[in-house]
Amino acid sequence: MMTYFLALLALVLLCGLWAIFQLWLARHDPDAKARSLKCGGCSRQDECR
């Protein structure tokens, strides 16, 4: 049972660190403003909201 708990704890920690990294990257990425938010799933010409 302890093995499952440790694996679950490691997964939660990894997801939390990934979320923190994404927030940091959004603030420090110089190309963030030039990126397109279009997903390509439709024929819209403007940004998806």
For residue 37, the model assigns a pLDDT of: 60
pLDDT at 27: 84
Q: Which residues contact 44 (CB under 8 A, 6 or more apart)?
A: 38
Give the residue from 22, 24, 29, 49 showing the smallest Cα distance to 38. 49
- pLDDT of 7 reads 97
Domain range list for the chain: 1-37
Q: What is the pLDDT of residue 13?
A: 98
pLDDT of 29 reads: 78
| pLDDT tens series, the chain, 49 aa | 899 999 999 999 999 999 999 888 888 876 666 555 666 667 766 766 5
How many angstroms separate the CA atoms of 17 and 26, rounded?
14
